[in-house]
Amino acid sequence: MKKNFLFFLILLIQPLFCQEKAQKNIILIIGDGMGVPQITAGMYKLKNQTALENFPIIGLSKTHSSNALITDSAAAGTAIACGEKTANGTLGISMRNQKLTSILELSKQKGYKTGIIATSTIVHATPAAFYANVISRNQYEDIALQLVNSDVDYFIGGGRKFFISRKDKRNLMKEMSDYDFVNSIKKFDESESNKIGYFTSSEDPYPIRNGRIPKLSLAVEKMLPKLSNTNNPYFLLVEASQIDWGGHKNDIDYVLSEFIDMNEAINKVLEFTKNDKNTIVIVTGDHETGGLAIISGRIRNFQMKTEFSTIGHSAAMIPVFAKGPHSEIFSGIYDNTDIFKKMFFVLNN
């Protein structure tokens, strides 16, 4: 009798000790063209504070590509998404011409739900690095075709035309019959499908200062419940794409407005994951754009005078912010390819 009781007791409490380690959710936020100067200027614009101050771990990444000291977003996206340096312009293909597997695809193999949000087209270099393999980032229609059979469950971004007005006359939105296509963030929120596509525009989405909808924070707010509503873990990529475009235009107000849109999205993510010990949030950039410097200013109202030194990218190291389980491995100075390797560690531990 006593023996029986003990047996049942052990059976009852056994799951408490033998539980498999819970898989970690990964939220990766990339500010395209965001280096320390963009963060600094954005912080002063926000009266000397930014969401990035909430991250306990900071590292620096070396961004050069395999063939250029100054990377482009395709090679940098490939390094972060797939863990290999490749030539500028190339997406998801190595120097030895091999197709690479992205962290999003690897997470899918482990049963993750996946999502991508971008403020560019969904076929633009940075988001495409997570699901496509093409020699040239400009093969937008080929990239669109690769999204059809990709591992992306939910996506929000521009570029509808690459799916429906194509040289091959195919209508990919029709072919993607497993997706519920919605045309507003409200409909996205209401959809109960486990695959949802929301094209926010036919071509490039507007800059936020010209009224782009939805705000990145709203897209994140509606995406996260979809990803987290089952027992499956999730991987989410959020790209603030247009910080880079403001840099190329040497337009500081464009840069700052896009930074603020991203900053609000980071706050939303931190709010959502506040009591969640199972989610790591990583924020980084792919490279710096514009060679931005703050050259004078005043403490009063944190006014700034800024200057750009190029209309292209620069080779500056880029900060990596991390918060959550295993975040400590993101401290130090390392290659951008190590961001992939560190996420891969999180995926497996």
Residues designated catalytic: 73
Q: Which of 107, 121, 191, 241 binds Mg ion (CB under 5 A)?
A: 241
Using the rule CB under 5 A, is 264 a contact of Zn ion?
Answer: no
Question: Residue 93 carries which DSSP code?
Answer: B
Percent helix, percent strand, percent coil in the chain, to nearest 5? 40, 20, 40
- Distance of CA 187 to CAs 122, 166, 305, Å? 19, 26, 42
Task: Pick the closer one to Zn ion by CB: 23 or 242.
Answer: 242
Residue written as token pair 């782009």 = 212
- Residue 241's binding partner among Mg ion, Zn ion, none (Cβ under 5 to 8 angstroms by kind) is Mg ion
Residue 78 binds Mg ion, judged by CB under 5 A: no
Instruction: Report the alpha-carbon distance of residue 247 to residue 269 in Å, rounded.
Output: 25
User: How many other CB atoms are there within 10 angstroms of residue 215's CB atom?
Assistant: 17
User: Is residue 32 involved in binding Mg ion (CB under 5 A)?
Assistant: yes
Nearer to Zn ion, 85 or 124 (CB): 124
Instruction: By CB under 5 A, tell whether 126 contacts Mg ion.
Output: yes
- Minimum distance between the CB of residue 68 and Mg ion, rounded to whole angstroms? 17
Q: Enter the tokens of residue 327.
A: 């975040």
Size of the site for Mg ion (CB under 5 A): 4
Minimum gap (Å) between residue 245 Cβ and Mg ion: 9
Alpha-helix residue ranges (DSSP H) falling in the chain: 2-18, 36-45, 73-82, 103-109, 125-128, 140-148, 161-164, 172-175, 185-190, 216-228, 243-248, 252-272, 337-348
Q: Give yes or no for residue 244 binding Zn ion (CB under 5 A).
A: yes
Please report whether residue 73 would count as binding Mg ion according to CB under 5 A: yes
Q: Output the smallest distance, CB 220 to Mg ion, in A.
A: 17
Q: Least CB distance from residue 125 to Zn ion, whole Å? A: 9
Question: For tokens 């897209």, what's the residue?
Answer: 219
Residues that bind Zn ion (CB under 5 A): 244
Residues that bind Mg ion (CB under 5 A): 32, 73, 126, 241
